[in-house]
Amino acid sequence: MKLSELLYPGEYRSACDAEKITVQGLACHTDRMQEGFLFICLRGAHFDSLTLIEKIAASGACAVITERGTLPREDSAVPIFEVKNARAALATVYSRFYKNPADAMTVIGITGTNGKSSTAAILYGILRRAGKHTALIGTVECLIDGRRYSLPEEEGGNRLRTMTTPDPDILYPMLAKMKEEGIEYVVMEVSSHALALSKVSPIRFRLALFTNLSPEHLDFHDTIESYLAAKSILFRQADIGIFNCDDARAEELIAASTCRAVRTGVVWQGDARASDIVLRGARGVSYTYLSEKARMRVQVPLPGEFTVYNSLLALQAAVELGIRPAEITAALSDLPPVRGRLERLPLPDWADFSVFIDYAHTEEALRALLTSVRRFRQSGQRIVLLFGCGGDRDKGKRAAMGRVAEELSDFLIITSDNSRSEDPAAIIREIQSGTSQKEKQTVIKSRRSAIEYAILNARPKDILLLCGKGHETYEIDRRGVHYFDEREIVRAALEKRKNGDTLLHEN
What string of pLDDT tens digits covers the 507 residues of the chain?
Answer: 999 999 999 999 998 999 999 999 999 988 889 999 999 988 765 455 556 777 888 899 999 998 865 445 555 689 999 999 999 999 999 999 999 999 999 999 999 989 999 999 999 999 999 999 999 999 888 999 999 998 777 676 677 776 789 999 999 999 999 999 999 999 999 999 999 999 999 999 999 999 999 866 555 656 888 989 999 999 999 999 999 999 999 999 999 999 999 999 999 888 999 999 999 988 899 999 999 989 999 999 999 899 999 999 999 999 999 999 999 999 999 999 888 888 999 999 999 999 999 998 889 889 989 998 998 888 889 999 999 999 998 898 999 999 999 999 999 999 999 999 999 999 999 999 999 999 999 999 999 999 999 999 999 999 999 999 998 888 999 999 899 999 999 999 999 999 987 665 544
Q: Which residues pair with 480 in a beta bridge?
A: 477
Q: What are phi and psi of 79, to 5 degrees?
A: -65, 135
Instruction: Please tell me the predicted confidence (pLDDT) of residue 361.
Output: 87
Whole-angstrom distance, CA of residue 312 vs CA of residue 122:
10
- Name 411's bridge partners: 384
The single-letter code of the amino acid at 371 is: T
Pairing, β 134-137 against β 106-111: unpaired
pTM above 0.85, yes or no: yes
In 3D, which of 378, 370, 222 has the Cα closest to residue 304?
370
Distance between CA atoms of residues 268 and 286, nearest Å: 18
d(CA 188, CA 193): 14
**Exposed, middle or buried: residue 42 (CB in 10 Å: 0-12, 13-18, 19+)?**
buried
Query: Under DSSP, is residue 321 helix (H, G, I), strand (E, B) or coil?
Result: coil
> Which residues, listed in sequence order, are joined to residue 44 by a DSSP beta bridge?
none
Query: What is the per-residue pLDDT for 49?
Result: 54
pLDDT attached to residue 154: 66
Q: What is the pLDDT of residue 471?
A: 87
Q: Measure CA of the first residue to CA of the last residue in the chain; give whole Å.
A: 57
At position 176, the amino acid (one-letter code) is A
